[in-house]
């Protein structure tokens, strides 16, 4: 199992350019997420999806769009990149898990990819 993979690993854009980040998972997970991580800010949720064909906004969705056309893929798009979008982007996936000793309760272990380092000049 490759787990969660992200393409590309690095990218440099000029202001106004567009690009798409690809996330793929081979664990048959229902849920997928995009986070960004900036120095001093921690991980912040951009968008997420609870199933194929569904998406929802997270904490910082402005300037990004997403699509989940296939269960295993989650795409993050930047239509017109801005320097404020310089960041490290992490994709994650999960399936609700029932605790072995508490069948009525679930928790959400998220598996993360290696990240994409994006610089917008």
Q: Which two tokens stand for residue 78?
A: 């930047």
Give the x/- contact pattern for other proteins in 24-53, rule: CB under 8 A: -------x-x-x----xxxxxx--x-x---
Residue with tokens 């990149």: 81
With respect to other proteins, which residue has the nearer C-beta, 81 or 113?
113
Q: What is the DSSP-derived secondary structure letter of residue 72?
A: T
Residues in the chain: 121
Count of C-beta atoms within a 10 Å radius of residue 26: 12
With binding defined as CB under 8 A, does residue 61 bind other proteins?
A: no
Give me the residues that bind other proteins (CB under 8 A), please.
4, 31, 33, 35, 40-45, 48, 50, 58, 90, 92, 96, 99, 101-102, 105-115
């Amino acid at each position: 199992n490759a787990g969660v993979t992200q393409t590309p690993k690095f990218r440099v854009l000029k202001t106004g350019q567009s690009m798409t980040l690809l996330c793929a998972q081979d664990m048959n997970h229902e849920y997928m997420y995009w986070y960004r991580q900036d120095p001093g800010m921690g991980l912040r949720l951009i968008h997420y999806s609870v199933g194929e064909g569904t998406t929802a906004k997270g904490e910082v969705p402005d300037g990004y769009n997403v699509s989940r056309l296939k269960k295993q893929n989650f795409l993050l798009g930047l239509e017109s990149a801005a320097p404020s979008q310089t960041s490290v982007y992490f994709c994650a996936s999960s399936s609700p898990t029932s605790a072995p000793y508490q069948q009525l309760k679930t928790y959400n272990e998220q598996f993360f990819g290696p990240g994409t380092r994006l610089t917008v000049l």
